[in-house]
């Protein structure tokens, strides 16, 4: 996954445009403003300057400059062309995707111009993928001698329902076995169960394979259990040492596979397994034990049976995966098995973990804190939390911990919809909290505010507007024996994002009535003669007249109408899944 999108954003007072379709600015620096100037600080001036339209002259200069810098495609540097060509070779493994169009797109680059043809033909890495059964599978082999035996990537792709067509593909694979024995580095095998003899050929080239993707025929999901499109890997005819060099393995859509053949893996992805392909927890742990250097593990509706005793593995962990850096578990509706698995292994507490569509039996707290050591680590190292509880979001419920940040999207009523119930004094080092809610202000009471004594940035969106006076009164409350604020004493920035579906019509005056409690809050915070009294305000979607009134009560205020949190969460969700190599690029 990429680094924390919250902490990478520039300050709101420095640039407002950077917040468009991204997370709000972070707390890397304080908002620049002159205290006590009634809204005339630098942040306010910058906001007004950025809202002024550029002159026609400057716009024309920018357009001309852009046109002068345009480079025709036939003059692109060879280094950039090579990157483009390599991208075109990225192999899509979507369930119903045929590679025919993909390959035609790749070979058409040779016809663009002589430069493109020259660059494409001189780079051996662009010709080491052999697509068996496609119109031009032999071009890579014809260039093999010229390039000096570059290790091959072989794609055995059966997407047709015609058995005769599959026979042709199998014959093409067998015909080129002599070339394949020179070294196949990566193999993608997508087929059904009609031609089991393909596995004999696979084992012959197995010793050199470093990356193996076993993918079910695209028709398998529409077939019954006894259908010929169901992928069944032989369990007895493949030697246990058939793949001694294998490091990356993806097995998806199978009804049977042989885990004993795979060991010393670094990357394991198991997706959408039939019931017969799933293992008992003890057997699965024994399988993982053969890969002590495992770095990435993904299980999506696969790997484990879900009818075992859920209390298995709740005591001392049985397996140590000390090299694991990424863990993803998903689509285990109403099952305790994910939790039983987590409690049965020991892994570095700071690894990136991603959980989605796990139902309501396992709680967010259980997933984040399977061991006490994990709880202690997250408590000391989490600095940012982003939580959404909006039911109409397109993405499924998920929770992710990555780079000192916790992300969670919770829906409906149940364990996944109570975002703050598990804090209980943990996460005391959190500096930034982003909360998008459609349930009003109830969770954000005194007990929540106490959980974040070092919070500097608070971002709110949704129904929180309705009870703004409760928050404002709490944030100006002072300790009896000190000059510090009782709640969030270090707060520097308050971000308020208007969402019409949650807050009400923008042109309705009653929608904004709760916001007037901000006046007293801002006056009270800025009037305190203590260091922590400064606070900046960032608003999005507010009417201009309300912004003008707020400027008279605030040291620094920024206005950003394109301030969108929920879309950023969806974007993060999509990028995270893609970063896990769901397409298994060659």
Beta bridge partners of 539: 496, 559
Residue 4 is predicted with a pLDDT of: 39
pLDDT digits (tens, 9 = 90+) for 443-475: 555 667 777 888 899 888 766 666 788 888 888
| Contact between 172 and 133 (Cβ < 8 Å) | yes
Q: At what angle do helices 517-527 and 468-475 cross, to 10 degrees?
A: 10
Write down the pLDDT at residue 561: 62
Taking the C-alpha atoms of residue 112 and residue 365, their distance in angstroms, rounded to an integer, is 56
Q: Give the whole-angstrom CA distance, residue 518 versus residue 535.
A: 12
Name the token pair of 371.
Answer: 């061991």
Q: How many residues does the chain have?
A: 586
Three-class secondary structure of residue 21 per DSSP: coil
Bigger pLDDT: 522 or 8?
A: 522
- Per-residue model confidence as pLDDT tens digits over 171-204: 777 777 766 766 778 888 877 666 777 788 888 8
Q: Cβ(525)–Cβ(535) under 8 Å?
A: yes
149-177 per-residue burial string, b: 16 or more CB within 10 A, e: under 16: ebebbbbbbbbbeeeeebeebbebbbebe
Sign of CA dihedral 483, 485, 490, 493: negative
Residue 92 is classified by DSSP as P
| The pLDDT of residue 323 | 93
Q: How far apart are CA 407 and CA 393, in angstroms?
A: 15
Let me know: does 458 contact 488? Beta carbons within 8 Å. yes
Tokens for 561, please give them: 């109408």
13 backbone dihedrals φ, ψ, rounded to 5°? -75, -15
**Of residues 163 and 488, more confidently modeled:** 488
Highest mean pLDDT among 110-114, 154-158, 456-460, 529-533: 456-460
Helix, strand, coil percent content, the chain, rounded in steps of 5? 35, 20, 45
Residue 123 sits at φ, ψ, to 5 deg, of: -105, 110
Mean per-residue pLDDT, 76-95? 69
pLDDT for res 36:
35
Pairing state between β 129-132 and 152-157: parallel
Maximum Cα interatomic distance, the chain, rounded to a whole number of Å: 86
Query: Tell me, what DSSP letter sits at residue 274?
Result: -
Q: What is the pTM of this model?
A: 0.75
User: What is the residue-wise DSSP string for 460-514?
Assistant: EEEGGGGGHHHHHHHHT-B-SSSSSBSS-TT--EEEEE--HHHH--TT-HHHHGG
Q: How confident is the model at residue 99 (pLDDT cuts 50, 70, 90)?
A: low
Angle, CA 145 vertex, CA 144 and CA 147 arms, to 5°: 70
Cβ burial of 472 (10 Å; 0-12, 13-18, 19+) is buried
Q: Between 148 and 278, whose confidence is greater?
A: 278
Query: How far, in Å, CA of 478 to CA of 439, rounded?
Result: 28
Residue 337 confidence (pLDDT) above 70: yes
Tokens, residue 319: 């397996």
**514, 521 in Cβ contact below 8 A?**
no
Q: 94: phi > 0 → left, psi -120 to 50 → alpha, else beta; which?
A: beta
| Residue of 370, 373, 401 whose CA lies nearest to 387 | 401
pLDDT value at residue 145: 57
Cα(229)–Cα(217) distance, integer angstroms: 6
Q: Of 444, 445, 428, nearest to 436 (Cα)?
A: 444
**Strand 398-402 vs strand 352-356: parallel, antiparallel, or unpaired?**
antiparallel
Question: Token match 């080092």: residue?
Answer: 429
Q: What are phi and psi of 191, to 5 degrees?
A: -165, 180
d(CA 202, CA 189) in angstroms, rounded, equals 9
300 has which bridge partners?
271, 330
The fraction of the chain above a pLDDT of 70, given in percent, is: 58
The more confidently predicted of residues 45 and 160 is: 160
pLDDT tens digits, 43-66? 344 434 444 444 444 444 444 444
Strands (E) across 309-465 are located at: 319-320, 326-330, 345-346, 352-356, 384-389, 398-402, 405-409, 432-437, 457-462
Point out which residues pair with 563 in neighbouring strands: 20
pLDDT band (50, 70, 90) for residue 133 = low
Rounded CA separation 108/125 (Å): 17
Residues 241-264: what's their mean pLDDT?
85
Q: How far apart are the first and last CA of the chain?
A: 19
Sign of the torsion formed by the C-alpha atoms of 54, 60, 61 and 66: positive
CB-based burial label for 110 (10 Å; 0-12, 13-18, 19+): middle
Instruction: Pull the structure tokens for residue 527.
Output: 């009037």
């Amino acid at each position: 996954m990429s680094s924390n999108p919250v902490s990478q954003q520039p300050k709101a007072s420095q640039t407002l445009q950077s917040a468009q379709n991204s997370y709000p600015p972070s707390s890397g620096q304080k908002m620049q403003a002159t205290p006590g100037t009634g809204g005339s600080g630098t942040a306010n001036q910058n906001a007004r300057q950025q809202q002024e339209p550029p002159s026609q002259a400057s716009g024309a200069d920018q357009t001309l400059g852009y046109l002068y810098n345009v480079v025709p495609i036939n003059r692109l540097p060879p280094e950039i062309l090579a990157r483009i060509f390599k991208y075109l070779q990225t192999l899509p493994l979507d369930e119903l995707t045929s590679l025919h169009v993909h390959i035609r797109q790749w070979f058409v680059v040779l016809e663009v111009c002589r430069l493109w043809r020259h660059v494409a033909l001189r780079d051996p890495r662009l010709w080491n993928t052999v697509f068996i059964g496609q119109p031009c599978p032999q071009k890579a082999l014809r260039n093999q001698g010229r390039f000096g035996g570059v290790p091959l990537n072989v794609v055995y792709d059966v997407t047709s329902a015609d058995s005769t067509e599959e026979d042709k593909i199998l014959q093409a694979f067998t015909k080129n076995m002599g070339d394949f024995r020179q070294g196949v580095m990566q193999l993608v095998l997508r087929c059904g169960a009609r031609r089991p003899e393909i596995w004999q050929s696979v084992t012959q080239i197995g010793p050199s394979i470093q990356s193996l993707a076993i993918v079910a025929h695209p028709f398998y999901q529409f077939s019954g259990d006894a259908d010929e499109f169901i992928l069944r890997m032989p369990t007895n005819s493949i030697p246990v040492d058939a793949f001694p060099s294998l490091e990356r393995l993806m097995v998806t859509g199978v009804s049977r596979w042989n885990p004993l053949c795979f060991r010393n893996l670094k990357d394991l992805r198991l997706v959408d397994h039939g019931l017969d392909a799933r293992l008992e927890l003890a057997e699965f742990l024994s399988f993982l034990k053969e890969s002590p250097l495992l770095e990435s593990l993904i299980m999506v509706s696969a790997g484990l049976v879900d009818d075992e005793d859920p209390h298995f593995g709740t005591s001392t962990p049985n397996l140590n995966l000390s090299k694991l850096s990424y863990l993803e578990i998903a689509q285990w509706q109403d099952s305790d098995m994910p939790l039983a698995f987590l409690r049965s292994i020991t892994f570095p507490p700071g690894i990136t973990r991603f959980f989605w569509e796990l139902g309501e039996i396992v709680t967010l707290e259980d997933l984040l804190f399977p061991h006490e050591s994990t709880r202690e680590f997250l408590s000391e190292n989490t600095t940012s939390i982003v939580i959404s509880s909006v039911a109409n979001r397109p993405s499924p419920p998920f929770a992710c911990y990555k780079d000192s940040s916790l992300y969670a999207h919770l829906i409906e009523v149940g364990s996944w919809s109570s975002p703050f119930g598990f804090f209980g004094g943990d996460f005391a080092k959190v500096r930034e909290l982003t909360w998008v809610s459609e349930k009003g202000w109830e969770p954000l009471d005194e007990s929540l505010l106490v959980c974040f004594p070092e919070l500097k940035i608070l971002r709110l969106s949704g129904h929180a507007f309705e009870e703004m006076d409760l928050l404002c009164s709490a944030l100006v409350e002072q300790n009896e024996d000190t000059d510090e604020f009782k709640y969030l004493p270090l707060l520097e920035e308050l971000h308020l994002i208007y969402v019409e579906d949650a807050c009400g019509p923008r042109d309705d005056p009653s929608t904004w009535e709760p916001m007037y409690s901000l006046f007293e809050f801002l006056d009270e915070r800025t009037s305190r003669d203590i260091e922590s009294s400064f606070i900046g305000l960032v608003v999005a979607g507010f009417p201009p007249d309300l912004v003008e009134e707020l400027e008279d009560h605030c040291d620094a205020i920024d206005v950003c109408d394109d301030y969108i949190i929920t879309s950023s969460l969806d974007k993060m969700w999509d990028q995270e899944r893609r970063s896990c190599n769901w397409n298994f690029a060659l």
